[in-house]
Chains A and B, each alone.
Chain A
Amino acid sequence: MNPQSLCSNKPATWWRALVPFCLLASGMGLAPNFGSAEETTVDRVAIVTPASRTNQGWDQQGVDNLVEVGETLDIEVEVVEDAGYDDITPILNDLASDGTDLIVCHASGYQTVCPEFAQESGIPVVVIENPGAVMDDLIADIETQAQEASFLAGVVAGLETRSGRVAVVVSGEPPTWNYMTVGFAEGLHSVNPEATLIYQVIGEAAYDDAPNAKRVTESAIAAGADVVFGMGDGASFGMIQAINEHNQDLEPEEQVWFIDVIGDKSGSDAGQHLLTSVLFDYRGAYTELIQQLREGSFGEIHTMNLENDGVRLLPFAAFADPDTVETVDAVRVQIVDGDIVVSAIGDADGLRERLDELFPH
């Protein structure tokens, strides 16, 4: 499936119900700032994340990137972390009352609350993985097409595995993780179709469930996996500890390697056995969004993909095979050129079907 078809072919039925509502809202003059050709001032942006940014993952990456962009563009950045998945409207209203010009709702779980807020308040928002919600001057969407970079990670795993067993450990099944799991599996299959893929879910929204993450990873290692692709957030540290402990006193060729997602842990305690990481880089998207808001062209779908470097692989660890590096570079070019099309599957059922197709039991 072409990733972009997600935006055009799937009608968001609920959205239609909102149309009269927002027409009414704009008719009543609730959104006076927009639609003019004049340059809109943007001097205060905010980001709301569901968990805390200590997890060196999803939340931290979004916050750090926005703060960096804010410094470059000389814009004030407000950070609200740990907002959870309860109704975040009060937080959004509070940000609005402080004169915030743009709010980044940094979770696919905010896919309905933020658009509703934007229409009621007239304050532009950015949502994640909800292309159906975009609206001129009001709602923009960021699509992290991380399945492409994950495909590369799958290629790396397929080439680097010595046991022929590769594990994918996830702390939940949100769309972001699912896209990456499928991309990884396809990449693995493309270079190593005989490999065994072990797919393990730690729990329901177990993003911080490090104990179970550790346990699950240990069992994957016991089952022979020597490359673990882990999507966890806080739970990632459980996976990393399982690998660190396992690798203690082992020869390099017997060690298990970890492929991380989103952030760069290579400099920390957690980076010792890091093969690579699927990096998310929101800086380009954020810069462009703010630019568009200033120019009056806000309200598009931004796709972070390999081509625009929004997703990419972290430079490989020293222990990776140089041949692997070459192959991955070649595959990357093929993806960017459209010669390889990576599936974009975001739902859990679809994911399972695809995994069964690729690696039947």
Chain B
Amino acid sequence: MSVEAIATALIAAAILTSMPLMLAAVGEAIAERAGLLNLGIEGSMLCAGFASFWLTLKTDSVTLGLLIGAAVGLAIGLVFGTLATVLNANQVVLGLGVTLAGTGGTAFLFREVYGSDQPLLSGGPGRPFEGWFDWLPVIGPAIGDQRWFVFVAWFMVLAGHLFLVRTPSGLQLRAAGESPFGLEAVGGNVTMVRIGAAAIGGVFYGFGGAALAVVELGFFSPGSTAGAGFLAVALAMLGRLSPLRVALFTLAFGLLTGLDIGLQIAGVDARPEFLRMLPYAGIVIGLVALGRGVRMPRALGQAYGGISSRR
């Protein structure tokens, strides 16, 4: 077995496994840009994952499964956005509540629906670009090997980036996080913009959770996000809330987690526990190296009470 083939496999795995995380982190970046700190990603992803698995199993259609996952994410996002703006709910508490309810709720539902079975999906989405990039050593086959939804996910990231940076709506969204009073002063509706941002974020988390279940794993099991929702928050901050940068950091994180596997295969004599600390320590170090002096949206995490509330 050649080193190249292992490297290719690890890169391919990193691209695939970082994809749900990437969607979640980019969704979080968009929501945070509007001033909403959503710690409910983990719960949203699990709910979407369960729904998509359930439907895919029933209909045998991954596409339908992904769509219902997105719909569930959207619904949770709308609830989050509405509670956080109209009702001025505390975002951190709300988010932790969504995570707790989603984690417990999906575990509860899974048992109610499937008892002690663990159904598996067969197949999974196709790989339309197999062999297209083989001219590129190591990395090419890793890209060509991906299932179609991975390309959709990267397209979503790109679209999210352009939306945020290039469109008037994106500008409004950023203003809602940076200077909500200013936005209202020029006639914008902070509440609606923030609800919209929460909804967009929710769709990203929904796709992320659904993709984890029906694209990456081929099944759902309670708790299978294994902390991805919290990692997404960290990666969004590390990427300074720019979707493209967040996506690239997530990919780097995926490669760093793969390092542990690669070194174990190579038989490097280090306890795997140490290797597994690396990605998390990497994020902390990354925050120090990149995060110092970087500004977050000024109104991040704060409820907006309208101009009349300003003193």
Contact = CB atoms under 8 A, between A and B. Distances in A.
Q: Do A and B touch, yes or no (CB under 8 Å, in the complex)?
A: yes
Interface of A: 52-56, 60, 163, 165, 198-201, 203-204, 208-212, 214-216, 218-224, 234, 237-238, 240-241, 244-245, 248, 268-270, 361
B1 interface: yes
Given A53-B116, A200-B265, A218 B13 contact: yes
A245 B124 contact: yes
Interface stretch (B83-91, B184-192, B222-230, B301-309): B222-230
B226 A209 contact: yes
Contacts of B1: 163, 165, 222-224
Given A165-B1, A200-B261, A200-B264, A211 B217 contact: yes
Given A54-B111, A212-B226, A238-B217, A244 B120 contact: yes
A348 to B, nearest CB: 8
B222 A269 contact: no
Given A211-B212, A222-B10, A54 B118 contact: yes
Nearest to B218: A241
Contact of A208 (B13, B223, B261): B223
Given A54-B111, A198-B265, 20 more contacts: A52-B116, A52-B222, A54-B110, A54-B117, A56-B116, A56-B118, A204-B273, A211-B216, A211-B217, A214-B216, A216-B264, A219-B6, A219-B10, A219-B13, A222-B5, A237-B219, A238-B217, A244-B218, A245-B218, A269-B120
5 contacts: A208-B222, A215-B261, A219-B262, A244-B122, A245-B124
Top 3 A-B pairs, shortest CB-CB distance: A222-B9, A224-B1, A269-B120
Nearest to A361: B267
Contacts of B119: 269
Contact of A211 (B115, B226, B276): B226
B81 interface: no
A244 B120 CA distance: 10
Interface residues of B, number: 42
A195 to B, nearest CB: 13
A17 B179 CA distance: 66
B258 interface: yes
Contacts of B122: 244, 269
Nearest to A220: B265
B221 interface: yes
A215 B217 contact: no
Interface centre among B12, B114, B265 (most CB of A within 10 A): B265
A241 B120 contact: yes
A201 B6 contact: no
B193 to A, nearest CB: 34
Interface in B61-108: none
B258 A241 contact: no
Contacts of B257: 212
Decide if the interface of chain A is mainly helix, strand, loop or mixed: helix
B9 A219 contact: yes
Decide if the interface of chain B is mainly helix, strand, loop or mixed: helix
Nearest to A218: B13
Interface in B1-20: 1, 5-6, 8-10, 12-13, 17
Nearest to A206: B226
Contacts of B117: 54
B226 A60 contact: no
Interface in B240-273: 257-258, 261-262, 264-265, 267, 269, 272-273
B200 to A, nearest CB: 25
B120 A240 contact: yes
A222 B217 contact: no
Contacts of B115: 54
Contact of B219 (A52, A220, A241): A241
Given A55-B118, A215-B17, A237-B120, A210 B110 contact: no
B162 to A, nearest CB: 30
A219 B261 contact: yes
A223 B6 contact: yes
Contact of B6 (A210, A222, A234, A244): A222
Contacts of B273: 204
Nearest to B276: A203
B16 to A, nearest CB: 8
A203 B257 CA distance: 11
Nearest to A204: B273
A249 to B, nearest CB: 11
A268 B180 CA distance: 56
A214 B114 CA distance: 22
A219 B266 CA distance: 11
Nearest to A64: B116
B271 to A, nearest CB: 8
B221 A210 contact: yes
Contacts of B269: 361
A208 B220 CA distance: 11
B237 to A, nearest CB: 22
A220 to B, nearest CB: 7
Nearest to A54: B116
A208 B221 contact: yes
Given A201-B272, A219-B10, A244-B122, A214 B265 contact: no
Contacts of A220: 265
A237 B217 CA distance: 9
A212 B224 CA distance: 10
B205 to A, nearest CB: 16
A75 to B, nearest CB: 21
